[in-house]
A and B are shown apart, each in its own frame.
Chain A
């Protein structure tokens, strides 16, 4: 008897890991970007599978549809000739591989070693979040009201009753700052020295 959750988990987890490894292994930066897209899209599938539908859609929308388009855009603006694939020495590869392998072993031993994390779900006993209906509770949480914690009688178990209004506002302001900052950094600069001609607006060059 096939367990569907396991099957779909494999369907998403295996591409996630394989494409992540491909990002590291590939030398061509455009291939890297494409592998990254595939990997992160598969991660969105994992989110849906874990019952986080809004987060999954957000991952697809902002990460894959926004951030990575921006990344590919950047790749295309800078990709030319030798910078398409910059090789590194095999000694560096060996070092990185050893360090990465050691880190992976440490992490995996921690992940597999803790019993509470390896115990399988036997039955669904009062799930904390109703599966796949997280939009409204998340929205209320961002506004500062935790509707999912209302039924919790024990006040010590009532986590984060204050909600996430302040982080939400901080993130909003942060995004605005980033928007202005990035636009300022990446703007087309006019060289004001006489020796170099104006790079932009050739019709009315400044002296």
Chain B
């Protein structure tokens, strides 16, 4: 896209800088919008699950005005800081969390080629960046100078480091089948009818998906694994001393990472931007017909992807309001005694399945063909690619 702008005589730095800024703004908007929508949804969904209506009276129809009102309230609230707190780290902590959560979206494709930076190691990169969010929580826990915060931070550190192992294995399994870490290529491999989705690759893969979900919920710190907050035992865990804008930044980071892991699940297991029925192909919305038609096909794909990510987040909300919180030892048991052995067994299972049935039961695309199908302008600049 930057190259496209350069053709019109724009200076190189302006074109690349402008495009980078634009992509950042788009992603930021998506994240903010997601946070606002999910706050509202959380209220409604929790209400419905607990057999009440949720917000209805105040704030327009369905109470949709309550999220903007919430946002304004949080912005105007005073940012309190304990006297004993480590001032710099206390201020820094929310932004560490938010940056990590935001950087995940840099490598997460929304549709075929609709990605801020198409990385060759995208799946691995996302896994790595998502693990960094824990630093914000640990920093907050330490800097608050409160025992509740520190307890929360310790739990979070132990939990996230442990769950990174089964989470990594679960990501590795579709990657192994696909033969690439490039998420765009993995998404394109699942083109066609819904039966091509990675989750239907083998029975082992089907089980893997649910292990992935468990680990994803645990690694985003959502109930029933929200031991770091645990309001019934730790006041609010690492968030105890936070208020106002800093608290809302943590909040946005949490919803951002929820969206990110759901999106990753959609790409790795649920066909990415390909729906169960290949509507775009059936209607002829492909690049081979016309560039504009292809663009609309991509748009449809992006909607598909966002819908799947949205479903994932809704599922997490459902879990939160259905299951009671686990104890810390139960959390560790779930990880070490169930998730890791199961994930490892599924890894071997999928490997043997792929070995026994190399083509699968159904004909599939090879990864190389999928890479070749990506439109040419998706190959944006590699880091440091602008050498003289």
Q: Which residues of A contact B (CB under 8 A)?
A: 2-5, 8-9, 30-31, 34, 37, 41, 48-51, 53-54, 57-58, 60-61, 64-66, 69-70, 72-73, 76-77, 79, 121, 124, 131-135
| A57/B125 contact (C-beta < 8 A), A8-B384, A69-B157 known | yes
Chain B stretch 367-388: residues in CB contact (< 8 A) with chain A: 382-388
B106 to A: closest C-beta gap in Å: 12
| Residues B180-198 near A (CB distance < 8 A) | 180-181
Q: Are B13 and A2 in contact (CB under 8 A)?
A: yes
Given A53-B119, A65-B164, A132 contacting B383 (CB threshold 8 A): yes
Give Cα distance in the complex from A32 to B153, angstroms: 18
B residues less than 8 Å from A31 (CB atoms): 86, 89
Q: How large is the interface on B (under 10, 10 to 19, 20 to 34, 35 or more residues)?
A: 35 or more
With contacts A54-B121, A72-B157, A73-B158 taken as known, whether A60 is within 8 angstroms of B128 at the C-beta atoms is: yes
Chain A neighbourhood of B385, CB < 8 A: 131-132
Q: How many A-B residue pairs have CB under 8 A?
A: 103
Cβ of B220 within 8 Å of any chain A Cβ, yes or no, is no
Roughly how many angstroms separate A48 CA and B120 CA in the complex, as a whole number?
A: 11
Q: B252 within 8 Å of A by Cβ? A: no
Q: Which residue of A lies closest to B103 (CB)?
A: A60
Q: How far is the CB of B235 from chain A (nearest CB, A)?
A: 18
* Chain A contact residues: helix, strand, loop or mixed: helix
Say which residue of A51, A64, A72 sits within 8 Å of B384 (CB atoms).
A51
Contacts A31-B89, A124-B387, A131-B385; A66 near B161 (Cβ below 8 A) = yes
Cβ-defined contact, B121 with A4, below 8 A: no
Would you give 16 A-B contacts (Cβ < 8 Å), ordered by A?
A30-B89, A34-B139, A54-B121, A54-B124, A57-B128, A60-B131, A61-B131, A64-B131, A65-B131, A65-B164, A69-B161, A72-B135, A76-B142, A76-B150, A76-B153, A135-B180
Q: In the bound complex, do residue A72 and residue B387 qualify as a contact, i.e. CB atoms below 8 Å apart? A: no
In whole angstroms, what is the CA distance A65 to B135 when docked?
9
How far is B121's CA from A58's CA once the two chains are assembled, in angstroms? 10
CB < 8 Å: which of A5, A30, A132 contacts B387?
A5
B132 interface residue per 8 A CB criterion: yes
Find B161's partner among A60, A70, A131 (CB 8 Å cutoff): A70
Going nearest first, the 10 A-B pairs with the smallest beta carbon separation are A65-B131, A61-B128, A60-B128, A4-B386, A132-B382, A57-B124, A49-B384, A5-B384, A57-B121, A48-B383
Q: Is B316 an interface residue (CB 8 A)?
A: no
A52 → chain B closest CB, angstroms:
10
Could you mark each residue 79-99 of chain B with 1 if its beta carbon is under 8 Å from any beta carbon of chain A, else 0? Answer: 000000010010010000000
Q: Nearest chain B CB to A4's CB is how many angstroms away?
A: 4
